[in-house]
Amino acid sequence: MTDHNENCVGSGDPVPHILRQWLSSFRPWFTAPSWEHLLVLVMGAILSPGKRTVTSCLRITGRAEAGKFSLYHQLLNRARWNPRTLASRLLSVVVASLVPDGPIVIGMDDTIERRWGPKIAARGIYRDPVRSSHGHFVKASGLRWLSFMVLAPVPWAKCIKALPVLTLLCPSA
């Protein structure tokens, strides 16, 4: 019999075994501590309502008061893993699982993250698609992100879902 807390990372609920199985094809690209932090963040992203920030992921998994809270943030901002390699693997998994026979439709979306400050070097000025119209041009300052998504039919939901597989920062020229 296994201990209920063997999968536990810090305080909070343990990471479910089925989540570990689903993500096992990504395990080779992470160190042991990074892998455990990634599992917690993915579990939190699945469970979190609303914005999926690192903080909300940790709160929903019971790790709001966890020691070394910053290690979860560092998984994303000090990555030693290659995001494009992982995106390629994620694309393969999504296509093989959800659209093995049909046409592969890729959707793209760009988003402006309105940020400013002396340490944000990739900031640019872009056309604000929400506040602009054909006759009225509104500029917005911030970071421009481009997301690529596989548009996959979800049979049990009877709809098509956009599943993000890669997001890139696209600074202005």
* For the chain, counts of helices (H) and of strands (E): 5, 4
Instruction: Say if residues 104 and 95 touch (Cβ distance below 8 Å).
Output: yes
Give this prediction's pTM.
Answer: 0.70
CB 4 within 8 A of CB 13: no
Number of residues written out for the chain = 173
Output the CA torsion sign for 97, 99, 104, 110. Answer: negative
| C-alpha to C-alpha distance for 141 and 133, rounded to whole angstroms | 17
- pLDDT value at residue 7: 41
pLDDT string in tens for the chain (173-residue length): 344 344 444 566 688 898 899 889 899 988 888 898 899 999 988 888 888 888 888 888 888 777 777 888 888 777 777 888 889 999 998 888 888 888 899 999 988 888 777 777 778 777 777 777 888 888 887 888 889 999 988 777 788 888 889 998 888 77
Three-state SS at 159? strand
Q: Which two tokens stand for residue 147?
A: 């997301």
